[in-house]
Structure 1
Amino acid sequence: MTPDISVVLPARDEAGNITSLLTGIAATLQDRAHEIIVVDDASRDGTRAELAALQTRLPQLRVICHDRSCGQSAAIRSGVWAARGALIVTLDADGQNPPDNIPALLAPFAGGDTALGLVQGQRVDRRDRPSRRLASAAANRIRNALLRDGVRDSGCGLKAFPRMVYLALPYFDHIHRFMPAMVAREGLRVQTVPVTHAPRAFGRSKYGNLRRAAVGIVDLLGTAWLIRRRRLPRTRELARSGATDLRGAA
């Protein structure tokens, strides 16, 4: 059976976190046709062994392995390309995005709104170090001032979007942090929903504040350039009975 939903998780060195997270996803979506795709971004711990053991228990689990570490955006891209579901859900593999948030991400798509391009999670009661929360808040304010995407927490890993929308976006490293702006660039609507956040149980974050800031500035300027270069005309096909609108201008 072809799944309706593909849950994509980028993972690197998440031994200890991945088993409980994947069983939680399977339980949350037990009444929906779904698949779970974990993209192992060249883990050096026991992540891959845990995934191999889980495949014997979760028939819907697929594991894609990178030969070298290429980062979170590259892992998401590999997962979306491999996905068979029309709707994609992403979340981080560190266990800080509780899977019981997934139904709230999917609910806005139930009405069949073709103009809805992304449902973005917005973390409440964030369970990170104070320094990280402050750095993230500052980065979000700067991003919003420049890109005007109207999203308070674009770095949250909990997202849901049509697969074809993602494949239409230009790819660049760290695009996962700029998905709301890039989806809006296509003339589609972005909706936010509040989601819960959990403390990390095992391992440590792959990003430091200084590293995140350094790459973020370059990515922010590049994203702003891409948005300003986009021009979407209103198109119509001339038919015998008159003209039919195909796409609205953004």
Structure 2
Amino acid sequence: MPEISVIISQRNSGGALVEQMPVLIAQLDALDQSFEIIVVDDASRASTVETIENLCRQIPPLRAIRLDRRVGLSGSVVAGIRVSTGDKLVFTSAGLEYPPHQIKDLLDAQSRGDLVIGRRATPSSARWLNRIVRTPRRMLLNMDIHDPGCQFWSARREALVNTPLPRGSYQYLAAFVAMRGYRVTESPIQYDALAAPDESLDDGWPSPLNLACAWWLCRRWQEPSYAELRRTENLLPELRVAFFDDMRDSKRAG
């Protein structure tokens, strides 16, 4: 079973995948840990599917699943997590907009958080706007992630495998992980917008309805806590019979 699962969600980005694979595999080999790469195809054109199939034949650690209809970024992430098997998960987009050499930094940062989200640098001209946009999320979800739309993160498998991610709610992934009691942190990363795929996969424009649903889910979610009862010492067979007879007698008396 691999130690690391790299999930790549994409749509109609076969060329970006071909360019990405050699660089990504070189960086994963350098980590000296077993790995798998999972491409989640969000109902691409036939030409992209053919490209992915050719890559799977050439690259043994590469697996691919094709969704029968478009589900967007959130649905693709859920599908990738579901089929992954590694204890450490890494998510990235197709292409080299997120340089793969930073995967090691994200994995190292897991000592500080169960989910480590990449944080792209914000131009000084957009910082005030970014702060205003973050205000509703901070007030309603008590989660101030600077770059929730970043498609580059790493996580411990247990923090994500049962975490809900409704359609259109990718930007609230950190809040859903935190509501289950897991630690969320950020790590600065490099980002090359010029290397982004021609057709980026996303959930569309943020919707107030999605924010309201995320707030409701975080308010209503209850993660059960439990403790195992301490067992008594093993009894000899004849004492065990007497023990259960005493239990039955006490129930009848009650």
2:213 paired with 1:222: yes
CA distance, structure 1, for counterparts of residue 50 and residue 132 of structure 2: 38
Q: How does 1:105-144 map to 2 (within 5 A)?
A: 105-109=106-110, 111=111, 116-124=113-121, 138-144=132-138
Residue identity opposite 2:214 in structure 1: T
Q: How does 1:123-202 map to 2 (within 5 A)?
A: 123-124=120-121, 138-201=132-195, 202=197
Residue identity opposite 2:20 in structure 1: L
How far apart are 1:76 and its partner, in Å?
Answer: 1.4
Residue identity opposite 2:152 in structure 1: L
> What residue number does 1:27 align with?
26
CA distance, structure 2, for counterparts of residue 51 and residue 141 of structure 1: 40
How far apart are 1:238 and its partner, in Å?
Answer: 4.4
Contact 1:144 1:152 in 2 (8 A): no
CA distance, structure 1, for counterparts of residue 11 and residue 25 of structure 2: 20
**Larger proportion of strand:** 1
How far apart are 1:220 and its partner, in Å?
Answer: 0.8
> What residue number does 2:87 align with?
86
How far apart are 1:233 and its partner, in Å?
Answer: 6.3
How far apart are 1:227 and its partner, in Å?
Answer: 1.0
- For the aligned residue pairs, the C-alpha RMSD in angstroms reads 2.7
How far apart are 1:60 and its partner, in Å?
Answer: 0.4
Give the 3 Å change call, closer, same or farther, for CA 172–25 of structure 1 in structure 2.
Answer: same
How far apart are 1:46 and its partner, in Å?
Answer: 3.1
**Larger proportion of helix:** 2
Give the 3 Å change call, closer, same or farther, for CA 137–196 of structure 1 in structure 2.
Answer: farther
Aligned residues: 228
**What is the percentage of aligned positions where both structures have the same residue?**
30
> What residue number does 1:248 align with?
none
Give structure 1 stretches of 5+ with no counterpart.
242-250
Tell me the secondary structure at the aligned position of residue 164 of structure 1: helix
TM-score (norm 1): 0.80
Tell me the secondary structure at the aligned position of residue 8 of structure 1: strand
